[in-house]
Structure 1
Amino acid sequence: MTNKQFPINTDEIKDNIYDAVNGAWTKQATIPADHSSVGGFMDLVDDIEKTLMKDSEELKNGTLEANTPELKEYVKFYKMANNFKKRDSEGAASVKPIIERIINLKDFNDLNDQLPDWILSGLPTPFSLDLDPDMKNAKVNALFASGPSLFMPDKTYYEKGNQAFQQLMPIFTEMSSKLLQMVGYNENDANKIVVNAKKFDQLIAPNVKSAEEAADYSKMYNPETTDELASSTSVLNLKAAINQLVGAVPDKIIVTEPQYFQHLAELLSANNFQLMKDWMLVKVVNRFSGTLSEDFRQVGDTYSRALSGKEEAMKPEKAAFYLASGTFDQVVGDYYGKKYFGEKAKADVHHMVEKMIGVYKDRLSQNEWLSPDTKKMAIKKLSTLGIQVGYPEKITPIYSKFKTNENESILANLLNFSKIANQDMFSKWNKPVERERWEMSANTVNAYYHPFKNIIVFPAAILQAPFYSLNQSSSANYGGIGAVIAHEISHAFDNNGSLFDEFGNLNNWWSKEDHQHFTELAQKMIKEFDGIPFAGGKVNGKLTVSENIADAGGLSCAEAAAKQEPDADLNEFFINWTRIWRMKARMEYQQLLLSIDVHAPAALRASVQVKNLDDFYSTFDVTDTDKMYLDPADRVQIW
């Protein structure tokens, strides 16, 4: 289905380009029972999944050779994940030691004694520690502290009268109680544990950030000393735990959710200790259900299916593949990239990225609202932009330490891998940032910009039709992967990326007047999307502004590049731009994305952005009597 062309109703383009291009596809597209959506991105995911599942089976059976030590360990783990008979016979055995460990906590002192190991093992804690480039000194890794995740997707679900909460929490409650009963609790005790866990979750919710709040990077940087962070609670010795984890007492910890830590002491009170323990139990049975027997996996997927609208859980074989490939993601990505993408395509796309950067430089040079000094800094940032295409030259060394123990359970292996990975992460505190280290596997259908590193990443998986193909015209390719490439470049200059300099430091390189003008343009972008009705709700313009700015910049710059080609055809450019965003999704999934996703709905990404480009109107002869018309004064053109 990925490459199949569907008829386009050119008469409808003036009314709604998305429906005109994707209407025929939408009518015939069916969403598989274990999917929440189908479409441009998801079709690629499905194709790659089929390819890698087939290859994984052949690797397992020996008809394909695992040609690296890391791939051999993946194959061992994949075999374990597919040994359903053994997994079913073991039932809950592998998770019971973790449950016992939680049950045996008598007070906060008990947890305190185990805290470093608890964190390294990846067990639930009422706070989170992570490493990332220091936002003020991006060449060095700093420690970050934040709150824990909630049972619901976002804190906004907990607001009074929220209908999604009223629909979803009973499903989460029933599922969690059933899982606890499956590990040995009677129904009454299981229900009590879930009630307590939800109470603790409700206490967390008011003080963590919503998706909209978290989308504002300028509010992330709240440095504290270790002593200041440790003073957030007297019942846990955070200073000692951090010292043990990173081998020193950091002068600075970046606290992304300061409000949460201001309320941590009242959360971690003696009265709440049992609530916290039960919260941990619910987290554990939910998190690890997919590693146990098939009946655990089916029950443990109930809430996720309700959230996304999926009618069925994945087939066991597919779930086993994702369990194994997700654990060895870089290893599988390296295999995929080298076998199915290759050096030639990698060099070709790398050249395309460099060309798009050149187009962006030209547009910055010709920009009419930036002052010369700000323009100079913007071009300097663009010139130092790191490029990662296809797959890494070498996979992350940590995978050489992942040794699959076939005599242990899947969960025991996962916990061991988690400990190895966390020890490796914390060992990098205060050490130079590995800018070239890949964080996304090559078989992932996605791309991203990292503001702290000033790099753009394009995994091999997205570099195929309809985004990119030698069988497509240059204009179609620019409307596809060209716009995606320029989108990621634009993130360096969106409302978040623009806060960081060429090194990835949080550093204002704008003149006051330029930044004020940019803020006004960003506000216009918020207004353009804010409140658009969709899936029974409304688009949040503030939540989606950074991605909308990147879409606008990406589309505009890709069009400029397309027009430079001798075979330029803007009809094909706009058509393929619209085609890559085709998506048919279940209502539940659309509503979930509307609440938490920083991207606007796919159909609106396609149809709203084109209205900002003057060439769209001349290409399709759109006038002020057509529905797709937008008054020139309301067109948002930033980059």
Structure 2
Amino acid sequence: MSNDKINESLIKDDFYQAVNGEWVKNATIPSDHSSTGGFMDLVDNIDKTLMNDFDALLDGSMQPSNDDMQEFKKLYDLAMDFDKREQDGANPLKATLQRIEDVKSFDDLNQQLSDWTLSGLPLPFGFGIEADMKNAKYNALYASGASTFLPDKTYYDKQNPAGAKLMPVFRDMVQKLLTMVGYDEQQAKNIVDAAEDFDRTIAPHVKSAEENADFTKMYNPMSYSDLASQIDKFDMENYVTGLIGQVPDQVIVTEPDYFKAFNEIVNDDTFYKMKNWMIVKVVKGSAGLLSEEFRQIGGTFSRTLSGKKEATKPKKAAYYLASGLFDQVVGDYYGRKYFGEKAKQDVHDMVVKMINVYEKRLSQNDWLSEDTKKMAITKLNALAIHVGYPDEINPLYHQFKVVSKEDGGDLYTNVENIDKIITKDKFSKWNQPVDKSIWDMSANTVNAYYSPLENVIVFPAAILQAPFYSLEQSSSQNFGGIGAVIAHEISHAFDNNGCQFDQYGNLNNWWTEEDHKHFDALAENMIKEFDGLDFAGQKVNGNLTVSENIADAGGLSCALEAAKGENDVNLRDFFINWATIWRTKSTEQYKQLLLSIDVHAPTELRAQVQVKNLEDFYKTFDVQPGDGMYMDEDKRVNIW
């Protein structure tokens, strides 16, 4: 990496600007993006590569590598046939809308309630299947509240100016869509009025992003009959039997307060409003599957929210649509073609190296008791590692059968059918053992994750390239990039959420009381370190971002130790690559949206604040009291 663009005079005062300032000044956010930078550049390059390959798939110069790719090709072909989508107009959606219109009472709805969910139609609550937090070997039934029109309940507060600006944009967009599907202007306005009223009654009772960030508070097991008794108007026993074949003894309720208020929200007086709320959700959710005009208008609200100047180009949107449904199939193709076994092994070795560093640090930790240390190391050694791409495609995708346009298929109906297969498959997993070989991310995703319920870390192939990782980069650069990302994911096993799960993925306190108190105090320091920092004209929420900040801090300090263990160590390169991977330029709207709902701190602050906690940073760049990057020793937070 060349250091010639680094502003040496700024390093001690503003590290992020010193490393990235020139890049930020010259970077242009593409008009169909809300941001650009390290992660986004990789996404764009992968999209370009795959779209190029799939052009060849469509024109026949490349053959599908397996049956799943053959089905993907048919769906991609339908998504790319803009003329046909234009001719079809709103017609594919009309049967779905008619189905909602035909429901005149709760009795009508109860006749078809489980099929309503299997068909992907909205209800004012959500049922799903996930691993049981207290018995993570088996899948359990979960019940949650409804999702609102605006991104978070905080937008509905009277004193939140963003909500007051955004709701009219949402309303205007939906009214246009409704007239395009055949309602007249007055009907469209009435539908939106009623839907907004209903939506506003939901908002006070659902959890905010900050409340959801405390993951373990989602675990509220209830007897199923108790939940059903809180819901007057829906036949919940019949409903659940249609989904999982029987009435379960138990359901895990993620938002108990919502169900306590349920009958205030859903009753005979609000039936009409609820129905219109459903129509709005369906029309908005389907716009991207119809003609170009539908897609353009249907994206108005999200573009306003994120500050994008224009919609994604039609061809790219078609690629996102088809590859989104066939994500693991596309990921398998990408991983095998562009990643390969050698790189898979190399990165796997790196993960093992980071785990070894972590183990050493845990064993030398000076504030954990021996018992807690032993349990932490047991959990660390039980961590499952997935790198690159899964060994085989999830068998669910073999069920996806697409009716091609030659056989009279249309995009909307095919997507509806595939969604139904996915939903049925999900509910068939109830009470079954959890399959830990299934990945939640496809190999072409520029990201990584840790799952506390499975105690597994996953590094898709797409993130395993420069600036994160490259055979061309020095070991210090790689540790400042992918090494810190790997250790970040490991650290999630020991953040304020992950630390409450044991090596099997069960919610189970394995800490001594004293150790947990000490950890909570350190976590509180991390909250304070970020809380209230100025960004994009607003303030960072330390509670919302604490788990990711703990993982960043642990990731960076462990990667630093690993880098110091190499023969070619260069800590300047290490820290500079850490700042480089977080380089981002975003629209103001997108920054403000993320401050409200994202559990990650802004990328600039991730780069800038975390290095201040590390003694080696001060030594490497000779940062002294009085310098902008200096933080008093008693304010520095070191947890792992």
Shorter-chain TM-score range? over 0.9
Where 2:402 maps in the other structure, the secondary structure is coil
Alpha-carbon distance in 2 for matches of 1:239, 1:510: 40
Alpha-carbon distance in 1 for matches of 2:361, 2:32: 44
Counterparts of 1:208-219 in structure 2, within 5 Å, are: 208-219=206-217
**Relative to structure 2, which stretch is displaced further, 157-166 or 33-42?**
157-166
Q: Which residue of 1 aligns with 2:499?
A: 498
Which of 265, 270, 273 matches 1:272? 270
Q: Which residue of 2 aligns with 1:23?
A: 21
Alpha-carbon distance in 1 for matches of 2:75, 2:554: 43
Q: Which residue of 1 aligns with 2:323?
A: 325
Q: Which residue of 2 aligns with 1:163?
A: 161
Q: Which residue of 1 aligns with 2:427?
A: 426
Q: Which residue of 2 aligns with 1:125?
A: 123
Q: Which residue of 2 aligns with 1:554?
A: 555
Where 2:143 maps in the other structure, the secondary structure is strand
Q: Which residue of 2 aligns with 1:628?
A: 629
After TM superposition, give the deviation of residue 161 of structure 1 in Å.
2.2
1:637 matched to 2:635: no
After TM superposition, give the deviation of residue 315 of structure 1 in Å.
1.1
Alpha-carbon distance in 1 for matches of 2:217, 2:434: 22
Where 2:409 maps in the other structure, the secondary structure is coil
Counterparts of 1:196-215 in structure 2, within 5 Å, are: 196-215=194-213
Counterparts of 1:139-178 in structure 2, within 5 Å, are: 139-178=137-176
After TM superposition, give the deviation of residue 446 of structure 1 in Å.
0.6
1:600 matched to 2:598: no
Q: Which residue of 2 aligns with 1:89?
A: 87
Q: Which residue of 2 aligns with 1:462?
A: 463
**Relative to structure 2, which stretch is displaced further, 538-547 or 431-440?**
431-440
1:530 matched to 2:531: yes
Where 2:92 maps in the other structure, the secondary structure is coil
Counterparts of 1:501-580 in structure 2, within 5 Å, are: 501-580=502-581
After TM superposition, give the deviation of residue 19 of structure 1 in Å.
0.2
Q: Is the 8 A contact 2:582 2:603 kept in 1?
A: yes
Q: Which residue of 1 aligns with 2:72?
A: 74
Q: Is the 8 A contact 2:240 2:246 kept in 1?
A: yes
After TM superposition, give the deviation of residue 408 of structure 1 in Å.
2.2
Give a deviation string over 1:266-320, Cα, whole Å, max 9, x none.
2111000000000000001100000000100010000010000000001111111
Q: Which residue of 2 aligns with 1:282?
A: 280
Q: Is the 8 A contact 1:6 1:24 kept in 2?
A: no
Q: Which residue of 2 aligns with 1:295?
A: 293
- Counterpart AA for 1:637: N
TM-score by length of 2: 0.99
Paired residues in the alignment total 637
Task: Quote the RMSD (CA, aligned, Å).
Answer: 0.9
Which of 348, 352, 355 matches 2:353? 355
Which of 221, 224, 231 matches 1:223? 221
After TM superposition, give the deviation of residue 6 of structure 1 in Å.
6.6
Where 1:151 maps in the other structure, the secondary structure is coil
Alpha-carbon distance in 1 for matches of 2:182, 2:148: 25
Alpha-carbon distance in 2 for matches of 1:563, 1:617: 15
Where 2:127 maps in the other structure, the secondary structure is strand
Q: Which residue of 2 aligns with 1:100?
A: 98
- Counterpart AA for 2:235: N
Alpha-carbon distance in 1 for matches of 2:502, 2:336: 33
Gaps (5+ residues) in structure 2?
Answer: none
Q: Is the 8 A contact 1:6 1:25 kept in 2?
A: no
Where 2:164 maps in the other structure, the secondary structure is helix
Q: Is the 8 A contact 1:581 1:605 kept in 2?
A: yes
Give a deviation string over 1:211-265, Cα, whole Å, max 9, x none.
0000001211100111011112121111221122111221211100000111111
Where 1:544 maps in the other structure, the secondary structure is helix
TM-score by length of 1: 0.99
After TM superposition, give the deviation of residue 460 of structure 1 in Å.
0.4
Q: Is the 8 A contact 1:388 1:458 kept in 2?
A: yes
Give a deviation string over 1:435-481, Cα, whole Å, max 9, x none.
11111110001101101111011000000000000000000000000
- Counterpart AA for 1:479: G
- Counterpart AA for 2:472: N
1:450 matched to 2:469: no
Where 2:139 maps in the other structure, the secondary structure is strand
Alpha-carbon distance in 2 for matches of 1:250, 1:496: 28
Alpha-carbon spacing, 1:275–1:6, altered in 2? closer, same or farther (3 Å)? farther
Alpha-carbon distance in 1 for matches of 2:296, 2:4: 37
Q: Which residue of 2 aligns with 1:45?
A: 43
- Counterpart AA for 1:179: L
After TM superposition, give the deviation of residue 502 of structure 1 in Å.
0.4
Alpha-carbon distance in 1 for matches of 2:131, 2:434: 6
- Counterpart AA for 1:284: V
Where 2:54 maps in the other structure, the secondary structure is helix
Alpha-carbon distance in 2 for matches of 1:136, 1:321: 39
Q: Is the 8 A contact 2:136 2:453 kept in 1?
A: yes
**Relative to structure 2, which stretch is displaced further, 401-410 or 80-89?**
401-410
- Counterpart AA for 1:509: W
Give a deviation string over 1:168-215, Cα, whole Å, max 9, x none.
111100000000000000001100100100001000000100000000
After TM superposition, give the deviation of residue 4 of structure 1 in Å.
8.9
Alpha-carbon spacing, 1:60–1:619, altered in 2? closer, same or farther (3 Å)? same
Counterparts of 1:362-441 in structure 2, within 5 Å, are: 362-406=360-404, 407-441=408-442
Alpha-carbon spacing, 1:330–1:5, altered in 2? closer, same or farther (3 Å)? farther
Q: Which residue of 2 aligns with 1:36?
A: 34
After TM superposition, give the deviation of residue 415 of structure 1 in Å.
1.1
Alpha-carbon distance in 1 for matches of 2:9, 2:471: 29
After TM superposition, give the deviation of residue 573 of structure 1 in Å.
0.2
Counterparts of 1:3-22 in structure 2, within 5 Å, are: 7-22=5-20
Alpha-carbon distance in 1 for matches of 2:4, 2:178: 49
Alpha-carbon distance in 2 for matches of 1:162, 1:610: 33
Gaps (5+ residues) in structure 1?
Answer: none
Q: Is the 8 A contact 2:618 2:624 kept in 1?
A: yes
1:334 matched to 2:332: yes
Alpha-carbon distance in 2 for matches of 1:244, 1:27: 57
Alpha-carbon distance in 2 for matches of 1:8, 1:186: 59
Alpha-carbon distance in 1 for matches of 2:228, 2:56: 52
Alpha-carbon distance in 1 for matches of 2:246, 2:37: 49
Where 1:543 maps in the other structure, the secondary structure is helix
After TM superposition, give the deviation of residue 409 of structure 1 in Å.
1.6
